[in-house]
Amino acid sequence: MMMMRMADAWVRGTHPGCGWIRLILLPLMLVPMWFGSMLGGMLIMTAWMMLPLLVRKPSSGDGWITRACLGVQIWRSRPLDDPVSLLLVALAGVFLLLATALAGRQDPVSMAVCVPAYFATYLSFLSRCAKKSRGAGETSAGVT
């Protein structure tokens, strides 16, 4: 886990380019799983993990995904204080796991339900976190 060795890796992960690409890469991992390519899935996951090493810190905390990532850091410190966010992130995880199982079974109709449901619940979670970041005055914390 090279990403964890860099003290500022999570701040680099808040860069808008990194944040949006990582948001897409996680469910994109379903494509190689659909075709039974374990190696392809592992390569996408490696790219997902290494991406923060390739970008610089964001120049400001004004981007929505930057505020959302910072809000996630705030939320992680006390997840039980916001049960709605906890429910949203748990549902997003369930939808992603379901989509993963369905990719292996090559069930396109069910995946067509699970993948958009994952995006809807996870983006709702991120939206709540972005508001939390703005409300806590954390829009530029760790980003300068």
pLDDT in tens, 103-123: 889 988 998 999 999 999 999
Give the alpha-carbon dihedral of 69, 73, 78, 82, to 10 degrees. Answer: -10
pLDDT number for residue 5: 55
> Is a pLDDT exceeding 60 seen at residue 4?
no
pLDDT in tens, 42-99: 999 999 888 888 888 888 888 899 999 889 988 988 888 889 999 999 999 999 999 9
pLDDT number for residue 137: 57
What is the spatial distance between Cα 4 and Cα 34, in angstroms, rounded to a whole number? Answer: 30
> Is a pLDDT exceeding 70 seen at residue 7?
no
Rounded CA Rg of the chain: 16
Mean pLDDT of 127-133: 90
> Is a pLDDT exceeding 70 seen at residue 139?
no
> Which residue has 């067509």 as its token pair?
112
The pTM score is 0.81
> Is a pLDDT exceeding 80 seen at residue 36?
yes
Are 73 and 51 spatial neighbours (Cβ–Cβ below 8 Å)? no
Are 17 and 68 spatial neighbours (Cβ–Cβ below 8 Å)? no
pLDDT number for residue 59: 85
pLDDT number for residue 67: 92
Residue type (1 letter), 75? W
Could you tell me which of 86, 87, 117 has the C-alpha nearest to residue 102?
A: 117
> Is a pLDDT exceeding 70 seen at residue 143?
no
Q: Is 46 exposed, middle or buried (0-12, 13-18, 19+ CB in 10 A)?
A: exposed
